[in-house]
Amino acid sequence: MPVAEQQRYYDTYQGASDEFLPDGRPKPGGCSGEARALVYGDIAYKPAWSLSQLESDVDSRLRADSHIKSVYAQWAACLQRAGYPRFADPAEAVGYAEYFHNPVGNKAPRVVPPGGPWPPAEAKRKEVDLAVADATCADETGLRDAVRSAWDKAVEEVVAQHETKIFAWRDELAAALRRAQDALRSQ
């Protein structure tokens, strides 16, 4: 598509607005902004509170759990004995494996495999080897059961703490859905 046509599409879809939301973000423009304003009202982007806050709170509790810290340390030591770096947590091991296939670029994670990326067959072998070592260490340390148990406890605590917000959020979403359905019916 020619650049001028791309700009016309962008302006129509998401165009600029001179208005701002209460939190200082620019109010969405174009037909996308109109639809969001119709469905969500003044908040325009999304409801004021969302599950991302719950996830963040649960994750914080999980990371602060002393038993989980101990299990992660045991798991990391096991992987280190298998010839891998000492990972902070399983997410870091996943990030490490991505760089078997991809160049690091300018946003390197804390731990990067030296010498990569490798040709696809070799990268896949390295990834499988790490996955097997990871699973073996998870079995040996009881990582999966520990995380599942701590996760369930953290979810229960966070849901209890935010119960009022969760119900208000549910009500906000239900109202937004009704507005969207009404708008579609009227077309």
**Cα 109 from Cα 97, distance rounded (Å):** 11
Say yes or no: 62 and 36 in one domain.
no
Q: Please tell me the predicted confidence (pLDDT) of residue 47.
A: 56
The two structure tokens encoding residue 94: 């996943």
Q: Please tell me the predicted confidence (pLDDT) of residue 11.
A: 83
User: What does pTM read for this prediction?
Assistant: 0.67
Say yes or no: 95 and 131 in one domain.
yes
Say yes or no: 173 and 151 in one domain.
no
- Sequence-ordered list of residues with C-beta below 8 angstroms from that of 81, at least 6 positions apart, any chain: none
Say yes or no: 80 and 140 in one domain.
yes
Tokens 């990582």 locate to 143
Say yes or no: 25 and 99 in one domain.
no
Say yes or no: 37 and 126 in one domain.
no
List per-residue pLDDT tens for the chain, 187 residues long: 789 898 889 888 888 777 777 777 777 788 888 888 888 776 555 555 677 888 899 999 999 999 999 999 999 999 999 999 999 999 999 999 999 998 887 666 678 898 889 999 999 999 999 999 999 999 999 999 999 999 999 999 999 999 998 888 888 889 889 989 998 998 8
Say yes or no: 28 and 110 in one domain.
no
Q: Please tell me the predicted confidence (pLDDT) of residue 25.
A: 74
Say yes or no: 60 and 42 in one domain.
no
Say yes or no: 177 and 108 in one domain.
no
Say yes or no: 83 and 110 in one domain.
yes
The neighbouring-strand residues paired with 26 are 20
Say yes or no: 152 and 169 in one domain.
no
How many domains is the chain partitioned into structurally? Answer: 2
Say yes or no: 103 and 20 in one domain.
no
The neighbouring-strand residues paired with 20 are 26
Per-residue burial over 67-81, b = 16 or more CB atoms within 10 Å of its CB, e = otherwise = ebeebbebbbebbee
Q: Please tell me the predicted confidence (pLDDT) of residue 18.
A: 78
Q: Among candidates 20, 60, 47, 11, which has minimal Cα distance to 177?
A: 47
- Give residue 72's domain range: 52-159
Q: Among candidates 159, 147, 173, which has minimal Cα distance to 40?
A: 173
